[in-house]
């Protein structure tokens, strides 16, 4: 089966601290990978997507960055967190044939 792992599941960080959220995918090669953010009670905002190692496209300019060091690893980072970075971060893999997204269980970030 194709599984998406995200960690940490929950994170509380002070303003100005760095961030690293990790997403790994099992069972598939060269997947399209996505990072979405969901604010409380809101829809999903596409942050980054990647079609291959080292290939990152940014959708929204902000103080977050993404990297894809390995085929099945997608990392979301920040050097200095802002209060507005709080939210639920979801990693997803895309099924190439249909375009369907398969999501991980998310990482909930609270910036204080």
Partner 1 sequence: SQQGEEDPQALSIQEGENATMNCSYKTSINNLQWYRQNSGRGLVHLILIRSNEREKHSGRLRVTLDTSKKSSSLLITASRAADTASYFCATALISYKLSFGAGTTVTVRA
Report residue 78 as tokens: 């920040």
Question: Is residue 94 near partner 1 by the rule CB under 8 A?
Answer: yes
- Considering only residues 54 to 93 of the shown chain, the ones binding partner 1 according to CB under 8 A are 88, 90, 92
Question: Is residue 98 near partner 1 by the rule CB under 8 A?
Answer: yes
Largest distance between two CA atoms of the chain: 41
Which residue has 């375009």 as its token pair?
99
- Considering only residues 40 to 59 of the shown chain, the ones binding partner 1 according to CB under 8 A are 42-44, 46, 49, 51
Closest CA to 20 of 84, 92, 94, 73: 73
Question: Is residue 99 near partner 1 by the rule CB under 8 A?
Answer: yes
Instruction: Figure out which of the listed residues 15, 26, 52, 100 binds partner 1, where binding follows CB under 8 A.
Output: 100
Task: Tell me the C-alpha distance between 16 and 14, whole Å.
Answer: 6
Q: Which is nearer to partner 1, 73 or 108 (CB)?
A: 108
């Amino acid at each position: 089966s194709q599984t998406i792992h995200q960690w940490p599941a929950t994170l509380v960080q002070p303003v100005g601290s760095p961030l690293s959220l990790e997403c790994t995918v099992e069972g598939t090669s060269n997947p399209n990978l996505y990072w979405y953010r969901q604010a409380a009670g809101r829809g999903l905002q596409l942050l980054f997507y990647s079609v291959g190692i080292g290939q990152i496209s940014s959708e929204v300019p902000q103080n977050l960055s993404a990297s894809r060091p390995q085929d099945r690893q997608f990392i979301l980072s920040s050097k200095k967190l802002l209060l507005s970075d709080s939210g639920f971060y979801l990693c997803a893999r895309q099924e190439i044939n249909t375009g369907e997204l398969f999501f991980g269980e998310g990482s909930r970030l609270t910036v204080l």
